[in-house]
Every structure is written in structure tokens, then in C-alpha cells.
A and B are shown apart, each in its own frame.
Chain A
Amino acid sequence: MSNLYDLLAYEVVEGIEEGLFTAEEYVCSVIKRIEGVESKLHSFISLDSEGALSSAKLIDRKLKEKENIGLLGGVTVGIKDNISTKDIRTTCASNILKDYVPSYDGTVIRHLKENGAIILGKLNLDEFGMGSTTEYSRFMPTHNPWNLDYVPGGSSGGCGAAVAAGECTVSLGSDTGGSIRCPASFCSVVGLKPTYGKVSRYGLISYANSLEQIGPICRSVKDVVMIMNIISGKDMNDNTSVSSSPITINDKSNNLDIAIVKELIDGSDDAVTRTIYSTSEKFKEIRCECNEISIKNLNYALPSYYTLASAEASSNLARYDNIRYGFDLPIDDYKWDNYFSNVRKNFGEEVKRRILIGSYVLSSGYYSKYYLKARRLRSLLRLELLTLFKKYDLLIGPTMPILPFKFGEKIDDPLKMYLVDINTVIANLAGIPAITLPVGFSNGLPIGLQIMAAPFEEQKLIDASYALENTINIQRRPNLI
């Protein structure tokens, strides 16, 4: 048998249930893998090896006593460190929350635990999810397992790197403007940003509520389906969540009508463009029609996204006042405004920039010039996409227009960093589902295909992705020693 840490989630569950190995043996294998590669990758902010081992022993005991171990019985899951985990530190990779230990589990964590998943630890991100490389983490950057000199993408960079390297079997990230899909693409794994409302956001520490969703990062489409069916659903603690049908794995894709979005290709690196076009040819092999289309107003999408995300961030992050939790700073020594300003200087530069931009676009005089225009674009874009989805089942393009890049290449120019998100923000603005799938490499660096569908049409994304995954023969595991 191959290394147990290498197994996919459904293989882990089957193996434990059939007695091929114990949950403890599998978890030990994953922990040993972490010990072997973590010093190179820096995926984890907090690791709960002891808790994971005792959960594994409990699974083994349950199995011995013929009790139900759950649909994810024994599977190790890494959690982006902006999702609340009861009694496990949840930092958002920020100094502001570096000692914060939540008193409750987010709804997705509760669902995972109820289904036997083992929460292995908390994974690195750009501070509060603001960034595309993990370089804005206040603790350390995560490295790309395919080439340690390169960024893993972000903001869920710890999730992408850990799953690709076998440090956990699956992970949960969050996606506000591409934060699941960017690292999944850069680390050559599968990442899904669900339809807005499909997964409860209760317990996700807010950055931009109207844009963000929690979703899985996995090594296979089948694992994505397993996780999605567990974390989806209506939650009384999130009034934007809704019930939706479960997703299934179908062996045949159903003659889907697919359109390549021209604007997503334009401006992409040559290697990325070539790979996306050759992948689109593969859709024909699985009996799908593939045409090329244009989306009007797409050039306004990224400016709108940064306007709205910054505006929401400036409101959301106003809550970090150090009163209920935070630094040990005696309130008696300060006046009201000085106290808050002094505490909040501990935000990192990128978070400060976004709060300032948010304050700017919401100021009287600029509100209608920026914020209202951005909302108008969002409305127009959603309507245009919904119209397109009446004709096409799926829209495709490169997830990232560029290959992973080296550390430090964009960190000094915030605008250059923002442009990295140009293809992914569309799905967040429109509230539609989007998946990224590994489809190739150039110079050893991964390339991902993004597939978007109409709201709650995750099944079509999965059908196309699963069929494509089976036709693409690429290296699945980085050569990390």
C-alpha cells in the first residue's frame, strides 16, 4: 500500500472501515509527513497532533464496537485559520487575534466533527484573507510545494500547500475574491467556491460578507463532493444560507454546452493560454460543445471588487477594538480614540491599506462615485451572467492568468498584487459557483482551469470536472522530500 498520507478522503474512509489500516495508523502517517515537510512549507499556524491522535483512537474504538464512524470517519482536515474552532486558537494570521481562542465551532466545523472528521490544525493565510500569496500573513509565508522559491497563492495558501503536500487529506478555505481557487490552482489541487448561500458562513471571521464563502480544497473531485455534501445546507445562524440538493459523482458528463470567456484568456501568460485551449479540446472528447464568448463590462469587475471588498472590510474590521479580547493594554491609561488607534496600529500594512480605501470610497462625496457604481456593476454582471447561463451550462477560462511567481515579486506594489485576482472575482461578485481543476504545468509550475456555473448548479461543475479529471494525465504529487 502507498503511504497512508497519500490517500484520498474516500480511500481513507474505505480503508478504515474495511480494516485495511486503523485511523491511528493513518493519522500517525499524516503527522509523520508533517514532521518531514513542514519546516520547508510553513502551512500550519497551529497544529493539534495530540487532539488528532486521540480522535483517531476514538474512531478505532467506535469501529471495534460496531458504532457508526460517520461519512468522514477518520479523515484529517486542515482548517484555514479564519474559521472558528472551539478551543483551538484562531488568529486570521493577524497580531490582533494572535491569542484568540474561540468559544464555539463554526457551523462547517460542527458538521465535519459530527461526521467523524479529525481537525488536524489551522492553516496559514494572508492576514484576514487579504492577499494572494500568504506574504501578508503576520507569522510567516507558506511555500509552494511544487517549487519552494515560489508563492503558493492565497489567501488560503496554507490550505493549498498542505493538501498538495499530503500534510492533510482535505482542507477548508474561504473565498472572497479567489482565495480558494488561487492557491488551489498554484498548488495543483482542486478547489471549489460554492454558490453564495450554499454553505453557512457562521464562524467565518468576516472580511467582506456579501462576497465570501467557505469551500473545500482537495486532491480529487470526488473528495470535493464528499466535503460539500457535509458542509452545505441551511443554518439558522446564517440567514443567507439555503437548502440545496446534494451533489453526486456521475460517470458520464451530459453533453454540456461550454463557453470559453475570451476576456479571461486575453492578457494571460502564453503557457497558460496554450494549456487552457488544449484542455478545451479535451471537452470535445467527453462530448461537450465548446465555443468562445465575450462578457461585456468585465473590465469593471476588478475595480468593483476592490471597492466593495474594501468598503465591507473597513466596516467589519472596526470591531477590533481590544475591549473584549486582544492585547493586555490597560484601558485606564488611554482616552477613547487614542486607545483604539494605538491597538489597531497592529494590523499589517495590507489590512490598513484596505481599511483606508474602504473609508475613502464610503466617504460622502465619493460614495456615489465609487461604491454605488461598484454595486451597479455587480448587478449588471450578475444579470449578464444569468442570461449567458440560459445558453451555456458552463463558462471556462484560466483560474490564474499567470504562473505562480517568486516571493517578493509583487509585495511592494499592491495594485500588481490585486491584478492577480482578475479572473476569480467574477464568481464572487455574481454569487455563482466556480471550481479550479489542475490541468497542466509549465516549467514545473501548475496551471488551473476555472469552470463557472449558474447559481446552485454545482452538479454541472462536478460533472465536467470529474470527466475532465479522468482524461488529464498529469503529475499529482510534488517531489518534496
Chain B
Amino acid sequence: MISKDELAYLAKISKIDLSEDEAEKFPKQLERTIEYIDILEQLSSDDPIVLDLQEIKFDELRDDVIYTSGGRPINKNLTEDGFLKGPKMK
């Protein structure tokens, strides 16, 4: 069972405030999901992971050039100097 403390820690690192109702019902729901994916422990294979869905070659990457979309600029939280303003760290 995921404890309420563990849930609180997961919520903290995920930066999400949970409601009282969520804090109450999530431990059981998440536990059921984790129990389900626990079956992966039984997968025994030492084969290397090969997963090249699409091979991307460095020289095929596009040039690092800015293209503008011509849409409305997003000005939220921009200072007059053009810096992005965020909440205080402390």
C-alpha cells in the first residue's frame, strides 16, 4: 500500500496540490496500478534494448534558425526589458 506520506512526497516532486478527496482515494488506486505493473519483474531477458523507431542522423537535423509563426505574441509575465518573470525562489 502506498502510504499517505509517500503520496505526499510524490505530489511534492510532481508539483501538484491534491485535494482532501484525492489524498484519501489515490493511495489505493495507485497501489492497484503499481501491483498491475509489478508483473514486469517477471520479464526475464538480458537482450539489449534495441529501439530505433526512426534513426535520426546528425547531419539530417534542420539548421538552427528561428522561424516565426506570424501569430500573436505571448506577453504574459514578460518584463519591459523582455525578460521572463517567475515567482520568487524563497
Task: List chain A positions with a Cβ less than 8 A from chain B.
Answer: 86-87, 101-105, 196-197, 210, 236-237, 239-242, 297, 299-300, 303-304, 306-307, 314, 318, 323-326, 331-332, 334-342, 344-345, 347, 349, 352-353, 355-361, 363, 369-370, 372-380, 382-383, 413-415, 418, 431
Contacts and interface: CB of A to CB of B under 8 A. Distances in A.
A335 B51 contact: no
B8 to A, nearest CB: 11
Contact of A210 (B7, B36, B53, B71): B53
B77 A323 contact: yes
A413 B36 CA distance: 13
A161 to B, nearest CB: 28
Contact of A345 (B12, B19, B86): B19
A104 B70 CA distance: 8
B85 A356 contact: no
Interface string B41-57: 10101011111011010
Nearest to B6: A360
Interface size on B, as a range, is 35 or more
Given A104-B71, A356-B26, A418-B33, A341 B16 contact: yes
Contacts of B37: 303-304, 306-307, 361, 370, 374
Contacts of B36: 303, 306, 415, 418
Contacts of B84: 323-324
Given A239-B60, A357-B33, A369-B40, A378 B51 contact: yes
A41 B23 CA distance: 33
Given A344-B17, A356-B16, A373 B29 contact: no
Interface of B: 7, 10-19, 22, 26, 29-30, 32-34, 36-41, 43, 45, 47-51, 53-54, 56, 60-62, 69-74, 76-77, 84-90
Given A331-B86, A352-B18, A357-B33, A377 B76 contact: no
A355 B16 contact: yes
Nearest to B62: A236
17 contacts: A103-B71, A103-B72, A103-B73, A240-B56, A303-B37, A306-B36, A314-B14, A323-B77, A337-B12, A352-B26, A353-B29, A358-B14, A370-B40, A376-B43, A413-B29, A414-B33, A431-B53
